[in-house]
Amino acid sequence: MLCRKNSSVVDRGNVPVYLNVYDLTPINGYAYWFGLGVYHSGVEVHGIEYAYGAHEYPSTGIFEGEPKQCEGFTFRKSILIGKTDLGPLEVRATMEELSEIYKGSSYNLITKNCNHFCDEICIKLTGNPIPSWVNRLARIGKLSGNTPFKSLRFSFFLTEDVSSEVLAFGYNAD
């Protein structure tokens, strides 16, 4: 896939920050080569992957897990976004700060999804955005206006064992 390289990549430190991209559907195997696809993403820093997902409660939708192991999705690739000088506690504080904005109940596939979250985190940590192809479908949906994709929600529900997220698709008729 051809991607335009951002010529103004910022290097802020010595800790690498990766964007881990996952396929939501097997069709991505074909759509990827046309610059399309439906993707989930998470940000890996200090050996922890942070991501965002939907649930019905007004608490945070940010969760953490083992890098490249997001259950229910197929790992596609890891992309070095840049580097940060923030330590593990400062990264955790950044996530806590964003937990007020990224509530599980405010997830929206078109305007506030996991890729939007990852873009904001990557900019905060490195000064660099995520590649545009990762969230292209949401931008197309936003530009097209009234679309059935607006009410499609990708949800995760935490079980008692937080290490095993159960991922589900739901349709919200709002």
**What is the C-alpha separation between 34 and 30, in angstroms, rounded?**
7
Phi, psi values for residue 50, rounded to 5°: -110, 135
40, 116, 118, 122: the active-site residue: 40
User: Residue 165 in 3-state DSSP?
Assistant: coil
97 CB-near residues (< 8 Å, 6+ apart)? none
Is 118 assigned a catalytic role? no
Phi, psi values for residue 75, rounded to 5°: -60, 130
Is 46 assigned a catalytic role? no
3, 46, 70, 114: the active-site residue: 114
User: Residue 150 in 3-state DSSP?
Assistant: helix
**What is the C-alpha separation between 91 and 88, in angstroms, rounded?**
5
Enzyme catalytic residues: 40, 114
